[in-house]
Amino acid sequence: MAASTQHKPRIVIVGCGFGGLEAARALKNAPLRITLVDKTNHHLFQPLLYQVATAGLSAPAIAAPVRHLFRKQANLTTLLGKVTGIDTAGRQVLLEDGTALPYDHLIVGAGAGHSYFGHDEWAPYAPGLKTLDDAFEIRRRILLAFEAAEKESDMDRRRAWLTFVVIGGGPTGVEMAGQLAEIARQTLPGEFRHIDPSSARILLLEGGSRLLQTMPEDLSRRAKEQLEKLGVEVRLDARVIAIDAASVKVQPAGRTSGGDENYTIESRCVVWAAGVAASPLGRQLAQATGAHCDRAGRVKVEPDLSLPAHPEISVIGDLADARSYAPGRQPEPVPGVSPAAKQMGRAAAANLMRRLANRPTRPFRYRNYGNLATIGRNAAVVDLATPAGRHIKFSGYPAWLFWLFAHIYFLIGFRNRIVVMIDWASAYWSQQRYARVISDIGL
Amino acid sequence: MAASTQHKPRIVIVGCGFGGLEAARALKNAPLRITLVDKTNHHLFQPLLYQVATAGLSAPAIAAPVRHLFRKQANLTTLLGKVTGIDTAGRQVLLEDGTALPYDHLIVGAGAGHSYFGHDEWAPYAPGLKTLDDAFEIRRRILLAFEAAEKESDMDRRRAWLTFVVIGGGPTGVEMAGQLAEIARQTLPGEFRHIDPSSARILLLEGGSRLLQTMPEDLSRRAKEQLEKLGVEVRLDARVIAIDAASVKVQPAGRTSGGDENYTIESRCVVWAAGVAASPLGRQLAQATGAHCDRAGRVKVEPDLSLPAHPEISVIGDLADARSYAPGRQPEPVPGVSPAAKQMGRAAAANLMRRLANRPTRPFRYRNYGNLATIGRNAAVVDLATPAGRHIKFSGYPAWLFWLFAHIYFLIGFRNRIVVMIDWASAYWSQQRYARVISDIGL
């Protein structure tokens, strides 16, 4: 193509999560002017963020500088900036510093944050886990809780410092609870003089009737068993109705609870893994384009991931309320997992190229290769889906090994893979966590 | 010894830097009740802190959890807390949370922070490098300066973003300037679309007439040559008289400057590596005990490192104004370097044991095994002192290799050594820095 730079279409991609990254990569050799804008300078490998929060990995091990990842992609410019709005009529992306980025085509993968279901007042007492800062804050709270317990002479208050509550039984909640149990039972014993860290209580509260609801029921049961073997108290049908600095109030619901009295858990360290809310850009885009927006703030997209009457805008990843169109089957909702975000990124890029070539776009089809969640040392559950639609399910040690290699394989950047492997190998053999470092203990 | 716990002497060690750590280790097998108190939860390997600030290493690679280091030392309790004062009459250490720790013997190694020579108003514009938080802040400023330059269209402002000033020509300043030059010339080129990172100016300002003043003059000259080869502008006899958000004002002084007009350097990223001030505990201790305190806030100690009329209190490391007593030589001041702090820690512990056994204490003798400073990839200066008092000096690649292995050898904790080696090996071959991660970009 001999077009001069000025005539190349301007593409803006918002967000360098899994979706934005894949979209940018898929457009690598196209005659375009791409700007990739994000409010952080790194791509975060979110499936391992809980390891940073639980002092198993350092931040740089799971974060790769975006500018470096795209240094050789000549058609792409990286921009560090916070997107505050999208002018869909004027076709420009507005940044906080006043910059306006004009676009011919726009791909929005701004992702999601926490949702406290209308109880934002809980946020200071129960941090969620989406960014590196979140992970540092949770790491700080976990390690300082043990330190505070060591100094506390009042037995009730000591017990509260040694009670950890994880709210939400999805993959993040299950992983956090498993790691907390390992820290208490395997990493810290022998290091304190006044407390026994292995006496710490770890509670996992789930409002529904089973853990890991996107997985088959027998794996949910297996995950619960494995957590309980690690010493986690799993409470199902346990709805959180209040959180403050020193306690969590729970309302039991449904059949498995055995009682219906509300009760209070005294705890000084609570982690929120229950709800996500899409970026506010979703609601803004929906208002501007007339697209539908669901309660979580996700924008309903067309089958090809574009917005109604705005074929120049695609929405992908956790920000999109998308359907999967498989031949001969009813459209199915796409789950909020990283493989789905990656596939949407590639699909949006491919449809963008089809549009530029005046060819018809294709509906998005999500290919589910399976689900996996880890629980702790040697424990995980895996549900693999074969192309023929069959499921291969396994748990325990083989599942854990599978999880381990899958995660190392998908880590972005070769160096990270090696360091993460060493960290895990050394953590595995020594039962230690080397990243037990708090930069600001907030004394 | 069959004494019950109640009769064992209570030892409090304040600070887990090099001095406190060595003192605690030296008392490993003694029948004592030791409390090691520090305001952070980790021992920091400060000689490599500049690597964290320049995105070469992650924080956990140079920080080891104190509690873990001493898990097997049964006579020692680790306490996380901030010491606010020492009640020398009542023999107790006072913590911010109201706790009082009684002691029979006290070892104080509370270290030093930055000194802006009476210009604390410069602190926000020129952060120093003592803690992990300092390192993160400097990393953030360096990386964001390049990002800001990329977005800036005004040429003068862009130049200011691409001008980095390091103030102070000691080891930290030399290392920082060398690393900045490498980031600009080797790490970042090719990653930006609007700026050429290798056009960045790096200035190293030293108020005296040579760099690395504790080293022999020919090595100072070598260090300057090697820095200039890396593209650092070294300015000697350059006294800083003002710093604000956008510039540094300099007053040339002395013979080598060639002119005497004050001048201003437009810069948006300034690092302070010029002065240290001892912890405020020094001045407090001096007032309470009548010991002398120098301008940097260090406490003048007796030959055996104790305080006058207070043999139960020893002061070590950067907080001590100590002399070295070698047989047949005049007492000499002890330099503020980590080997000296370690030696003082061991000497204070040995004297403490002698006192408990009613034996006379011994004066401290500093054994100088040499000095070394690194400048960048393949460049360093080494000055080794032999027991016979002779000096072996070398520079360039062999000195760099020597520096590398010496630092890896002295790193606390086996895992850290392996990971630091891998990080350095990969950084060496790829010329990349993997820790280019900013958690909070402060947009």
Q: Is A206 a catalytic residue?
A: no
- Predicted pLDDT at A175: 94
- Predicted pLDDT at B440: 63
- pLDDT reading at B412 higher than 70: no
Question: Could you tell me what percent of chain A has a pLDDT over 90?
Answer: 72
Using CA atoms of A146, A152, A153, A159 in order, give the dihedral in degrees to the nearest 10: -50
Tokens of B40: 């952070």
- CB pair distance less than 8 Å for B443 and A96: yes
> Going by C-beta distance under 8 Å and a sequence separation of 6 or more, which residues neighbour residue A122?
A116, A243, A272
CA distance A434 to A421: 13
Distance from CA of A438 to the nearest CA of B (A): 7
Average pLDDT taken over every residue of chain A: 91
- CB pair distance less than 8 Å for B79 and A151: yes
Residues from chain B that touch A71, judged by Cβ atoms under 8 A, are: 190-191
- pLDDT reading at A246 higher than 60: yes
Using CA atoms of B313, B316, B322, B328 in order, give the dihedral in degrees to the nearest 10: 100
Instruction: Specify the DSSP element, H or E, that contains A149.
Output: helix A132-151
Secondary structure (DSSP) of A417-436: HHHHHHHHHHHHHH---TT-
Could you report the per-residue pLDDT of B162-216, keeping only the tens digit for each? 999 999 999 999 999 999 999 999 999 999 999 999 999 999 999 999 999 988 8
Could you report the per-residue pLDDT of A313-364, keeping only the tens digit for each? 999 999 999 999 999 999 999 999 999 999 999 999 999 999 999 999 999 9
B99, B151, B436 member nearest A65 (Cβ): B436
Residues from chain B that touch A42, judged by Cβ atoms under 8 A, are: 436-438
- Predicted pLDDT at B443: 43
Q: Mutation test of the interface with chain A: which of B58, B73, B198, choosing the one with the most A Cβ atoms within 10 A?
A: B58
Distance from CA of A80 to the nearest CA of B (A): 7
- CB pair distance less than 8 Å for B132 and A58: no
Could you report the per-residue pLDDT of A7-22, keeping only the tens digit for each? 899 999 999 999 999 9
A72, A437, A441 member nearest B59 (Cβ): A437
- Predicted pLDDT at A6: 67
CB–CB of A437/B75 below 8 Å?
no
**Mean pLDDT, residues A53-82 taken together:** 92
Burial B201-210 (b: 16+ CB within 10 A, else e): bbbbbbbbbb
CB–CB of A167/A173 below 8 Å?
yes
B67, B133, B422 member nearest A418 (Cβ): B422
Q: Picking from A28-42, A271-285, B69-83, B415-429, which range would have the lowest pLDDT averaged per residue?
A: B415-429
Bridge pairing between strands A92-95 and A83-87: antiparallel
3-state secondary structure of B79: strand
CB–CB of A51/A421 below 8 Å?
no
CA distance A348 to A11: 12
Distance from CA of B198 to the nearest CA of A (A): 15
Residue type, B247: S
- Predicted pLDDT at B5: 62
- Predicted pLDDT at A408: 81
- Predicted pLDDT at A403: 85
- Predicted pLDDT at B359: 97
Secondary structure (DSSP) of A110-177: --EEE--TT-GGGTTTS---SSHHHHHHHHHHHHHHHHHHHH--SHHHHHHHTEEEEE--SHHHHHHH
Could you report the per-residue pLDDT of B418-436, keeping only the tens digit for each? 667 766 776 676 667 777 8
Residue type, B277: A
CB atoms under 10 Å from CB of B94, counted, come to 17
- Predicted pLDDT at A443: 43
- CB pair distance less than 8 Å for A80 and B415: no
- CB pair distance less than 8 Å for A58 and B61: yes
- Predicted pLDDT at B401: 86
Q: Tokens 């002018």, residue? A: A87
- pLDDT reading at B221 higher than 90: yes
Bridge pairing between strands A247-252 and B232-235: unpaired
- pLDDT reading at A415 higher than 70: no
Confidence of residue B365 (pLDDT cuts 50, 70, 90): very high
Nearest CA in chain A to B97: A443
Q: What angle do CA B69, B75, B77 make, to 5 degrees?
A: 60
- CB pair distance less than 8 Å for B432 and A419: no
Burial B262-294 (b: 16+ CB within 10 A, else e): eeebebbbbbbbbbbbbbebbebbbebbebebe
* Partners of B435 in beta bridges: none
Nearest CA in chain A to B74: A193
Residue type, A208: G
Tokens of B311: 């043999």
Nearest CA in chain A to B436: A65
Q: Choosing from B22, B137, B152, B175, which is the catalytic residue? A: B175
- pLDDT reading at B413 higher than 70: no
CB–CB of A57/A48 below 8 Å?
yes
**Mean pLDDT, residues B259-272 taken together:** 91
- CB pair distance less than 8 Å for B40 and A441: yes
Residues from chain A that touch B39, judged by Cβ atoms under 8 A, are: 441, 443
Q: What is the ipTM of this complex?
A: 0.86
- pLDDT reading at B441 higher than 90: no
Tokens of B218: 């020919």
- CB pair distance less than 8 Å for B192 and A67: yes
Nearest CA in chain B to A40: B441
Q: Is the dihedral of CA A198, A200, A206, A210 positive or negative?
A: positive
Distance from CA of A339 to the nearest CA of B (A): 24
Secondary structure (DSSP) of A181-225: HHIIIIISTTS-SS--GGG-EEEEE-SSSSSSTTS-HHHHHHHHH
Tokens of A231: 């010493």
Bridge pairing between strands B63-65 and B42-44: antiparallel
More confident residue, B4 or A308: A308
CA distance A77 to A71: 9
Residues from chain B that touch A82, judged by Cβ atoms under 8 A, are: 443
Q: Picking from A1-5, A261-265, B47-51, B236-240, which range would have the lowest pLDDT averaged per residue?
A: A1-5
Distance from CA of B438 to the nearest CA of A (A): 7
- CB pair distance less than 8 Å for A437 and B132: yes
- pLDDT reading at A442 higher than 70: no
A136, A143, A194 member nearest B41 (Cβ): A143
- pLDDT reading at A226 higher than 70: yes
CB atoms under 10 Å from CB of A98, counted, come to 7
Question: Could you tell me what percent of chain B has a pLDDT over 70?
Answer: 92
Q: Choosing from A137, A152, A175, A206, which is the catalytic residue? A: A175
- Predicted pLDDT at B270: 98
Question: Could you tell me what percent of chain B has a pLDDT over 90?
Answer: 72
- CB pair distance less than 8 Å for B437 and A150: no
Length of chain B: 443
Domains of chain B: 5-114+277-356 (3.50.50.60), 120-274 (3.50.50.100)
Residues from chain A that touch B441, judged by Cβ atoms under 8 A, are: 39-41, 80
Tokens of A2: 């001999």
- CB pair distance less than 8 Å for B432 and A68: yes
Q: Picking from B237-246, B329-338, B409-418, which range would have the lowest pLDDT averaged per residue?
A: B409-418
Average pLDDT taken over every residue of chain B: 91
Confidence of residue A1 (pLDDT cuts 50, 70, 90): very low
Give chain A's radius of gyration (CA, Å). Answer: 23
Nearest to A52 by CA among A204, A197, A176: A176
> Going by C-beta distance under 8 Å and a sequence separation of 6 or more, which residues neighbour residue A62?
A44, A45, A48, A49, A51, A52, A411, A416, A420
Residues from chain B that touch A419, judged by Cβ atoms under 8 A, are: 419, 422-423, 434
Q: Tokens 């949702």, residue? A: A115
- CB pair distance less than 8 Å for B443 and A39: yes
More confident residue, B354 or B411: B354
Distance from CA of B10 to the nearest CA of A (A): 15
CB–CB of B99/B93 below 8 Å?
no
Confidence of residue B416 (pLDDT cuts 50, 70, 90): low
Could you report the per-residue pLDDT of A85-121, keeping only the tens digit for each? 999 999 999 999 999 999 999 999 999 999 999 999 9
> Going by C-beta distance under 8 Å and a sequence separation of 6 or more, which residues neighbour residue B183?
B54, B55, B142, B197, B433
Size of interface A-B (CB pairs under 8 A): 140
CA distance A191 to B288: 35
- Predicted pLDDT at B25: 96
**Mean pLDDT, residues A378-389 taken together:** 83
- pLDDT reading at A434 higher than 60: yes
More confident residue, A162 or A46: A162
Residues from chain B that touch A142, judged by Cβ atoms under 8 A, are: none
Residues from chain A that touch B51, judged by Cβ atoms under 8 A, are: none
Nearest CA in chain B to A96: B443
CA distance A342 to A17: 9
Residues from chain B that touch A79, judged by Cβ atoms under 8 A, are: 150-151
Tokens of B225: 């040559």
Q: Mutation test of the interface with chain B: which of A51, A78, A438, choosing the one with the most B Cβ atoms within 10 A?
A: A438
Residues from chain A that touch B436, judged by Cβ atoms under 8 A, are: 41-42, 60, 65, 68
